[in-house]
Amino acid sequence: MNRFRTSKFRNTVPRIPRKEAWISDVRTASSASCGNHIKASCSLVAFNSESTGVLGIVPLEAKEGNKRPGSQLSCHSDLVTDFDFSPFDDLLLATCSVDETVKLWRLSESGRPSPSAAVGTLGPEGCQVETLLFHPTVGDVIATGAGRTAKVWDLAQQKSLAVLECHGDQIQSLTWKQDGTLLGTSCKDKKLRIFDPRAGPEASQSTQGHENNKDSRLIWISASDYVLSFGYGQMRVQEALLWDTRRFTASVASFTLDSSSGSLIPLYDADTGLLVLAGKGENVLTCCEVSTATPSLTQVNQCLVETKSRGAAMVPKLAVDVMACEVVRVLQLTDGFVVPISYTVPRKSVQEFHEDLFPDTAGNVSSVSAQDWWTGSNKQLEKVSLNPAKRPQKSLSCSLSLSTRPEQQTLQHTETAKSDTSGLSSPASSLTSPATPSSLVPSLSTTSGLSSGFVSSPSQKSLQSILGPSSKFRHAQGTLLHRELHITNLKGLNLTTPGECDGFCLNRQRVALPLLSAGAQVAVLELSRPGRLPDTSMPTIQNSSAVADICWDPFDLHRLVVAGEDAKIRVWRIPEGGLQETLSEPEAILRGHTEKIYSIKFHPLAADILASSSYDMSVRIWNLGSGKEERLLTGHSDQIFSLAWSPDGQLLATVSKDGKVRLYEPRKSTEPVQEGPGPEGGRGARVVWVCAGKYLLVSGFDSQSQRQLYLYSAEALSQGPTCSIGIDVSPSTLIPFYDEDTSIVFLTGRGDTRVFLYEIIPEAPFFLDCNSFSSSDPHKGFLFLPKTECNVRDVEFAKALRLRQTALEPIVFRVPRVKKEYFQDDLFPDTEVWWEPALSASAWLSGSNSKHKRISLQPKDMTPVSEAPKDVPIRKYAPSSFYLEEKSDEQKKEELLNAMVAKLGNRDDPLPQDAFEGVAEDEWD
């Protein structure tokens, strides 16, 4: 082995911490499998335990008091031979076993599996699955080796993409080229093979490897065309061979390693070229540096450990302590411990980031989908900086679809990816207000870095006074929940319901979906029974007429109202426990409209009161208790796009194709009490009440077909919109959902891939921009569950269901907070008891008014964050006297000005989270 060392890593030092920092209470057993027996992600560590088919799971980093709560994952019925964490999801683990299957597991941050069953299962393969490895650039692709066959799987499509069967014996290891184009294998038949999986087995090349077939390993060297193989030579001495895959006939260099009877575990860091070799059953770890320019394998150091190795793993580069000059961290698995061994480069200063030691590394966001990769895309991962000051924030949406076979439960997980707001038009760019000149309205896009309603220092007060208010929800994160909670295998959905209809409807127990079938059927599904729907037909509602709109009674979870294109409204009663048989006879039929019905809306306070609009250009008020039409509202000269009750239930707003927004007081007049100019054109519009009923929000289009939001004062509707903003250009009407508790409006259209979020305030600038939620594919509908379905412990302030062509997927919106042990009372005011009527139908019709009771969302065992102990912020900048000592007048002026500018934007100033507001530090720009 070449001992001549000249690189910047030549002085790398292995450091073993004190025993208190080891992961203890580890129980392992010897295993004859080829796997490493331990793997790590940026969050978790998994290792083989002494129990057959069981893995131990612990957090990578210790919590307070150096505690690591451990758990066990019973994943297979026989020995676990290998496992791997996804490089794009710290909590997604793949395992394989002697039981001939590959399983995928979604873990929690504590390490416990979220579901009680596997997220997905591949196989059985007909023989023991020996090894597996995730693709380095595509999140939905994994390679497996079982017997003499290697396979490449598309997890989203639950099928194998490539079957590579030309091996002469058991496959012992797999390795992907860093760009994801080629797959290498080592085999017990003493041969090494390189495949292009997308070109088939015929596009492979092989060569004779090591003389002994005991155990061989193959790893790719960085992004080059070189691979290193490890095995035993003719004299049973361990050796390493360097191969150029472009001329894969003979090795270009060979290196003799120390004699050892244990199989080698090679751990390679592509950024530094450092290679750590651990022998199973040995207590020595050897660190080398690999060079392909002049083929060499240079020993850097050796580390003697207390106990023998059962396995070893390298921690992902994004998890190393760069400020301590830690270039590599290895986890050694022993009989009773997991020992973290830190390889550091000694530097005089540890107060700064050393760029020469830490080049930009591969990011953790998948570059392309499995299908795009399979059809030829070689898009690479974006590089990210390891500098903590430049480290990108990890947020929402890179999805990884994991589907099991048809007869098994299917679940889906998505991880947060970077929220993309680059496609948003700046609201300020099209912001207009009769009361506020556009030149005086602050740009909303410049407020995104401000504190959310809490100012803790003079500099922040000055900055906020300059830039204007910002929303405490501006960093809201939308997260697709685990596939365990999805309803999948939806079939025959009617995706062509009128634009005035939301496409489906839900309450806190059930969802109703119109079907495209004879008899205008409606499927009713129980939200408490997620999973794959049976392939056989289910009980439905036979509505007899095509569905125009559909709505659940907010005060009766079993009453569903369906408006038909035959001008009739049918009232259906759903049995307790859900549909057990097909219903063909409604509870009641409301007749009165003479043409197709547009939309229906229940009264927010009074039981049995329903409003409906129709092509006959009328709005009718119904009493479902008596089955009678109580009011007929007129005044429209064209199609009614949308209607909405005011929060107090006294007024009804409509927006029409005739270009008008109207307000009715149904109990006093059948004619509108106010009219104002609405959106232009006839492409569609929606209306919703906001700011406790003081304003109306209308979504529509302008004359250039740009989607617009218009804000009207309910007291001055005739004066036109108080404010308007442009969103984007798209054919679908934005459907608004407004949350009274947070003043957040969610906006998306059918066929969109994005949900826009704004906080609406009753003063300029009116619209405060928040993070949007984006998905990779369009949704057919998007509706929100009641506020009581949110998990306030996880700072969820909204929960929705997204309708796709074959699935219903739950999505939650959270605010990132640090002090989650406290109830975030600034985000969760008392909410209305919306599920109980405040009035009877007769009381409301006779003129009575009321309002809902309110209840607290605070769990009994949580303390409000407003009552949490306050820490006194410590100023980290020098006092002004420092800048004034023994300086000339010109120096004093210049340095004082620089100090003021620095203070204004100083990120070391006290931040709101220092005073227990609870916003995570890494969410601040």
Span of 78-92, 294-308, 839-853 with lowest mean pLDDT: 294-308
Q: Are strands 510-514 and 505-506 parallel, antiparallel or unpaired?
A: antiparallel
Over residues 155-180, the mean pLDDT reads: 89
By the 8 A CB rule, do 547 and 494 touch?
yes
Tokens describing residue 401: 């679809």
Interval 575-618: pLDDT, tens: 998 898 999 999 999 999 999 998 999 999 999 999 999 999 99
- Which pLDDT score, from 0 to 100, does residue 110 have? 67
Q: How confident is the model at residue 525 (pLDDT cuts 50, 70, 90)?
A: very high
By the 8 A CB rule, do 166 and 149 touch?
no
Taking 80 as the threshold, does the pLDDT of residue 404 lie above it?
no
Taking 80 as the threshold, does the pLDDT of residue 910 lie above it?
no
Over residues 551-561, the mean pLDDT reads: 94
Taking 70 as the threshold, does the pLDDT of residue 116 lie above it?
no
Tokens describing residue 14: 């292995």
Percent of the chain scored above 90 by pLDDT? 42
- Which pLDDT score, from 0 to 100, does residue 112 have? 64
**Hey, which residues does 768 pair with through a beta bridge?**
759
Span of 102-116, 501-515, 794-808, 839-853 with lowest mean pLDDT: 102-116
Span of 229-238, 334-343, 532-541 with lowest mean pLDDT: 229-238
| Residues 6+ away with beta carbon under 8 Å from 763 | none
End-to-end CA distance of the chain: 48
Please tell me the distance from the alpha carbon of residue 671 to that of residue 636, in angstroms, as a whole number: 9
Please tell me the distance from the alpha carbon of residue 425 to that of residue 256, in angstroms, as a whole number: 62
Taking 70 as the threshold, does the pLDDT of residue 916 lie above it?
no
Taking 70 as the threshold, does the pLDDT of residue 463 lie above it?
no
Max intra-chain CA distance, the chain: 102
Interval 226-263: pLDDT, tens: 999 988 877 778 888 999 888 888 888 888 876 566 78
Span of 146-150, 203-207, 910-914 with lowest mean pLDDT: 910-914
Please tell me the distance from the alpha carbon of residue 368 to that of residue 380, in angstroms, as a whole number: 8
- Which pLDDT score, from 0 to 100, does residue 764 have? 86
- Choice between 504 and 402, residue whose per-residue pLDDT is larger: 504
Taking 70 as the threshold, does the pLDDT of residue 902 lie above it?
no
Taking 70 as the threshold, does the pLDDT of residue 467 lie above it?
no
**Nearest by Cα to 663 from 422, 671, 145:** 671
Chain mean pLDDT for the chain = 82
- Which pLDDT score, from 0 to 100, does residue 455 have? 32
- Which pLDDT score, from 0 to 100, does residue 743 have? 95
Interval 840-869: pLDDT, tens: 999 999 999 999 999 999 999 999 998 988
Tokens describing residue 388: 């903590």
Counting beta carbons within 10 angstroms of the beta carbon of residue 920, is it exposed (0 to 12), middle (13 to 18) or buried (19 or more)?
middle
Give the dihedral of Cα atoms 334, 336, 342, 343; nearest 10 deg: -20
Tokens describing residue 233: 């030579």
Span of 154-168, 202-216, 611-625, 723-737 with lowest mean pLDDT: 202-216
Tokens describing residue 239: 């050796």
- Which pLDDT score, from 0 to 100, does residue 728 have? 82
- Distances in whole angstroms, Cα of residue 45 to Cα of each of 72, 448, 723, 864: 11, 36, 53, 34
Q: Are strands 477-480 and 89-97 parallel, antiparallel or unpaired?
A: unpaired
pTM to 2 decimal places: 0.51
Q: Are strands 854-855 and 510-514 parallel, antiparallel or unpaired?
A: unpaired
CATH class of 13-362: mainly beta
| Residues 6+ away with beta carbon under 8 Å from 753 | 774, 775, 776, 777, 778, 779
Please tell me the distance from the alpha carbon of residue 821 to that of residue 869, in angstroms, as a whole number: 13
By the 8 A CB rule, do 511 and 504 touch?
yes
Q: Where in the chain is the domain with CATH 2.130.10.10?
A: 13-362
> Which of 258-267, 674-683, 893-902, 909-918 has the highest average model confidence (pLDDT)?
674-683
Over residues 740-769, the mean pLDDT reads: 91
Q: Are strands 767-769 and 754-760 parallel, antiparallel or unpaired?
A: antiparallel
User: Three-state SS for 17?
Assistant: coil
Percent of the chain scored above 70 by pLDDT? 83
- Distances in whole angstroms, Cα of residue 187 to Cα of each of 201, 213, 215, 225: 15, 8, 8, 20
Over residues 487-515, the mean pLDDT reads: 86
Tokens describing residue 41: 């992600």
| Residues 6+ away with beta carbon under 8 Å from 679 | 655, 659, 685, 698, 699, 700, 701, 702, 708, 710
Tokens describing residue 223: 């992004």
Taking 60 as the threshold, does the pLDDT of residue 509 lie above it?
yes
Interval 345-402: pLDDT, tens: 888 766 678 888 899 999 888 888 888 899 888 888 888 888 887 765 443 333 333 4
3-state secondary structure 709-777: EEEEECCCHHHCCCEEEEEEECCCCCEEEEECCCCEEEEECCCCCEEEEEEECCCCCCEEECCCEECCC
- Which pLDDT score, from 0 to 100, does residue 86 have? 93
Please tell me the distance from the alpha carbon of residue 88 to that of residue 136, in angstroms, as a whole number: 9
The residue written with tokens 């998007």 in the block is 782
Q: How confident is the model at residue 879 (pLDDT cuts 50, 70, 90)?
A: low
8-state DSSP, 203: G
- Distances in whole angstroms, Cα of residue 573 to Cα of each of 511, 526, 552, 558, 847: 14, 15, 10, 6, 29
Over residues 761-765, the mean pLDDT reads: 89
**Nearest by Cα to 775 from 479, 513, 540, 383:** 479
**Hey, which residues does 606 pair with through a beta bridge?**
839
Backbone φ/ψ region at 468: left (φ over 0), alpha (ψ -120 to 50), beta: left
- Distances in whole angstroms, Cα of residue 758 to Cα of each of 54, 695, 802, 873, 905: 47, 15, 19, 31, 25
Span of 23-27, 63-67, 363-367 with lowest mean pLDDT: 63-67
